Amino acid sequence: MNNKSLLLVLIICGLILSALISRNGKLLSLALPFLVYLIIGVVQTPGGINLIAKRLIDNSGVVAGDFIETRLVIENRGDALINLCLKDSLASTLKIVEGSARQRLSLSAGKTTELKYLLKAARGVYSWKMVRACASDPFGLFDLECDIPAPGEVFVRPATLQIKSTTLKPRFTLQQTAGLISARSAGSGTDFWGIREYRAGDPMRRLNWRLAARHPHKLFTNEYEREEISDFGFILDTRKLTNADAMEEALFENSIRAVASLSENILNHGNRVSLLVFGEFISYVFPGYGKGQLSLLQRKLACAKLGENLPFNYLEYFPTRLFPSRSMIIIFSAVDSRDLEAYARLLAFGYEVLLISPDPIGFVSRMLPLTEINKLASRAARVERVLLLKQLLKLGVNVIDWDVNQPLETILHKTARHWVRKENVRVRL
């Protein structure tokens, strides 16, 4: 019984009671139409709901910002439903751009209907379990509600940046595993490394005939730089350091897109990649190769959210299974002075550390009015940030102060030449 039927019952009872008290038959006759109306509603109320629902989602390669077509095919395997309302539940981050997630219709026995709408979603993993069905009489007096199982899931990958190639060349490689990273030693490769005297078993195509012509009775072999694969580990910092929610969300989304792009590029070159998402909750992906590993990484990145502010020292020990020895660890994080000890510990463990820090100062200063106070505040914040970056450089961390309005690929190519252990971050005042 809903509010409409309850109001109707109260009206009938009120008229009957008034007729009995006043002994007025006319009041009693006024209650008869309402009573007939109520009786028809009771008789026409469906005895039960027997619906079967099937959800069809076009989730092939969905990226954040793309459109998702959702279809619900519902079949009535019971009695005819004269007044049926179907309502699908949606997450708050899903927006309907076409169609509707609610439909009212009549459905005969054995017939099917389709609920169809178009969604636009942010990154994440969205799942549906059921659809709400409400059947009632023609007047809508009595409702019969139930949940129809209609499971479904869509995985919205984070959008990626335009990164065709990277210049990330770790100092250490996985020996005896061919790849595309220079191993700084002689072996099978394409780049010329040096010349040595001929040894039995050397292939004839590598003989240096010009040098042999100048030195009779001697043969020389060309050597090439060996190319192998490496271990890469990503650490995504999901901590909130300020109360500027909109600014941090924008920088955080850029970090996620960058991790997704770099990890895909590195995996496409045959390297091994792992991921640690650090914040209010900690999640990780152990090292792996190929498309399966890329799918796991993207799923973790899709679910990442900003959370509580914790120091990196909360991770007292980095498991070697997650970050094998001599890995190159790429950290996407805002700079926090409490994390210096954690960076020093990573370097002491033998890792090669690269910090890519989205620049909040430049991001915010472009939004503020160009007043003298804002200029001085931005300059003071810039000095504080650069001093902290210089401390990291002195520890031996390679640092990129990333202006998110500039392509990351261009910045990586420019700064790769200067990745030596010296202070190479200039103060922009």
Can you read off the two tokens belonging to residue 375? Answer: 């200029």
pLDDT above 70: percentage of residues in the chain: 84
- 45 domain-assigned: no
- 166 domain-assigned: no
Residues 244, 312, single domain; the answer is: yes
Q: Please report the pLDDT score of residue 417 as a whole number.
A: 57
| DSSP secondary structure letters along 121-169 | E-SEEEEEEEEEEEEE-TTS-SEEEEEEEEEEEEEEBPP----S-----
> Beta-carbon neighbour count of residue 11 at 10 Å?
16
Q: Please report the pLDDT score of residue 101 as a whole number.
A: 87
pLDDT 10s digits, 182-236: 545 545 656 666 677 777 877 777 787 777 778 877 888 777 666 667 888 999 9
Residues 149, 277, single domain; the answer is: no
- For residues 198 and 285, give the distance between their C-alpha atoms in angstroms, rounded to a whole number: 46
- For residues 120 and 95, give the distance between their C-alpha atoms in angstroms, rounded to a whole number: 5
Residues 362, 293, single domain; the answer is: yes
Q: 31 vs 107, which has greater pLDDT?
A: 107
Beta bridge partners of 186: 225
Per the structure, the count of domains in the chain is: 4
Residues 395, 246, single domain; the answer is: yes
pTM of the model: 0.74
Q: Taking residues 332-336, what's their average pLDDT?
A: 85
Which letter, b or e, does each residue of 351-382 get, where b requires 16 or more Cβ atoms within 10 Å of its Cβ? bbbbbbbbbbbbbbbeeeeeeeeeeeebeeeb
- For residues 128 and 61, give the distance between their C-alpha atoms in angstroms, rounded to a whole number: 19
Q: Taking residues 244-263, what's their average pLDDT?
A: 85
- 428 domain-assigned: no
Residues 411, 312, single domain; the answer is: yes
- 87 domain-assigned: yes
Residues 310, 385, single domain; the answer is: yes
Question: For the ranges 32-41, 77-86, 189-198, 244-253, which has the lowest average pLDDT?
Answer: 189-198
User: 2-6, 29-33, 82-86, 412-416 — which one is most confidently predicted on average?
Assistant: 82-86
pLDDT 10s digits, 44-100: 777 788 899 998 887 666 888 888 888 899 999 888 888 888 998 887 778 888 888
Look at residue 173 and tell me whether its pLDDT is greater than 50: yes
- 7 domain-assigned: yes
Look at residue 372 and tell me whether its pLDDT is greater than 80: yes
pLDDT-derived band of residue 275, with 50, 70 and 90 as boundaries?
very high
Residues 379, 282, single domain; the answer is: yes
Residues 393, 282, single domain; the answer is: yes
Residues 291, 355, single domain; the answer is: yes
| DSSP secondary structure letters along 72-125 | EEEEE-SS-EEEEEEEE---TTEEEEEE-SEEEEEE-TT-EEEEEEEEEE-SEE
- For residues 179 and 353, give the distance between their C-alpha atoms in angstroms, rounded to a whole number: 21
> Beta-carbon neighbour count of residue 185 at 10 Å?
13
Average pLDDT, the chain: 80
Question: For the ranges 106-115, 156-165, 343-352, which has the lowest average pLDDT?
Answer: 156-165
- 190 domain-assigned: yes
pLDDT 10s digits, 376-429: 888 888 888 889 999 998 888 888 888 888 888 888 877 765 554 443 444 333
Q: Please report the pLDDT score of residue 172 as a whole number.
A: 62
Residues 218, 234, single domain; the answer is: no
The C-alpha angle with vertex 35 and arms to 31 and 36, in degrees rounded to 5, equals: 120
- For residues 80 and 72, give the distance between their C-alpha atoms in angstroms, rounded to a whole number: 19
Helix (H) or strand (E) holding 27: helix 25-44
- 162 domain-assigned: no
Residues 277, 407, single domain; the answer is: yes
- For residues 284 and 361, give the distance between their C-alpha atoms in angstroms, rounded to a whole number: 30
Residues 133, 282, single domain; the answer is: no
- 168 domain-assigned: no
Look at residue 180 and tell me whether its pLDDT is greater than 60: no
- For residues 209 and 222, give the distance between their C-alpha atoms in angstroms, rounded to a whole number: 10
* Residue closest to 169 by CA, chosen among 426, 412, 357: 412
Can you read off the two tokens belonging to residue 245? Answer: 């929610």
Can you read off the two tokens belonging to residue 207? Answer: 């003989």
Instruction: State the residue range of the domain holding 108.
Output: 51-156
Q: What is the DSSP letter of 338?
A: G
Q: 171 vs 260, which has greater pLDDT?
A: 260
* Residue closest to 177 by CA, chosen among 217, 221, 227: 227
